[in-house]
Amino acid sequence: MPTRELPRLVEEALHDMAACDAGETMAGFVRERLPLLKKQARSRNEAIVNRGELAIVITGDAAGRLALASAYAQALHGFEITAGRDDAESTVLKTVQWRNIIADEQGNPLPFRKASDKLYSAKSDAEGGVLVIENIYDLPPNAANENAVAQAQNGAFQMLADLLTEYAERDYTPVIVLTGEADKMQRFLAERRGGAAYFTNPVLTATAAAPPPAPDVPAATMSDVTVTRPLKLKKPGL
């Protein structure tokens, strides 16, 4: 069976993620799953691939997480799943810290609506590309008021859920990538109301190393990076 030829940007993305994807689980998702999702969307006469089917969680070494997220963003652009003016331009990749979403400049937790609006603003900044949310389990610096913290977290998390459901088939909704430590993220998602319902597939993992160091920099210690995918949601009403 002949090997499917992939767009140049996708091949470059696969090359870039190789050092951080030793098990090639993420590479397999890019090679096989992304073209299939695009084909299925076309067969349904849908303009875009449902963003809920593209969202992923990456845990492990911090540098490895960023490298995998960046390569994933390039692969999405290479397949023309995310926006871009030409094949030489990378898609938008915006990274935000969760604690900056749920807190004001003084570190105090935001009210429910303001936290929701702040994540929506980040979504707008990443339109047509990829929005990376780091450490979704983090609390605001001033977390003494547990009720206020809960309100801030719930407001932002509700908007995140909306991006993966209600907004998932809208033009320029960014692909969501969550990054952080595996045990903390798993615990946080399990504690969110209905959070477990977002996952409809078994967790898939890939063991990887941190990115290779730049010249004249001592080699980084090998560490595991777990890629959990997808944050695939059941469509509302189904």
pLDDT 10s digits, 32-74 = 889 998 999 889 888 788 888 888 888 888 888 888 899 999 9
pLDDT at 237 over 80: no
pLDDT at 196: 52
What are the b/e assignments for 159-188, b being 16+ CB within 10 Å? bbbbbbbebbbeebbbbbbbbbebeebbeb
Query: Taking every pair of C-alpha atoms in the chain, what is the biggest distance, in angstroms?
Result: 61
**pLDDT tens digits, 108-138:** 999 999 999 999 999 999 998 999 999 999 9
In the chain, the percentage of residues whose pLDDT exceeds 70 is 75
Compute how many other C-beta atoms are within 10 angstroms of the C-beta atom of residue 136: 23
In the predicted model, what is the mean pLDDT of the chain?
81
Task: Return all residues near 118 (Cβ < 8 A) that are at least 6 apart.
Answer: 101, 102, 110, 156
pTM: 0.84
User: In one letter, which amino acid is 221?
Assistant: T
Check residues 66 and 186 and name the one with the higher pLDDT: 66
Average pLDDT over residues 203-219: 55
Domains of the chain by range and CATH? 8-212+221-228 (3.40.50.300)
User: In one letter, which amino acid is 95?
Assistant: T
C-beta separation of 68 from 22 below 8 A: no
Task: Return all residues near 28 (Cβ < 8 A) that are at least 6 apart.
Answer: none
- Tell me how far apart the alpha carbons of residues 90 and 71 are, in angstroms, rounded to a whole number: 10
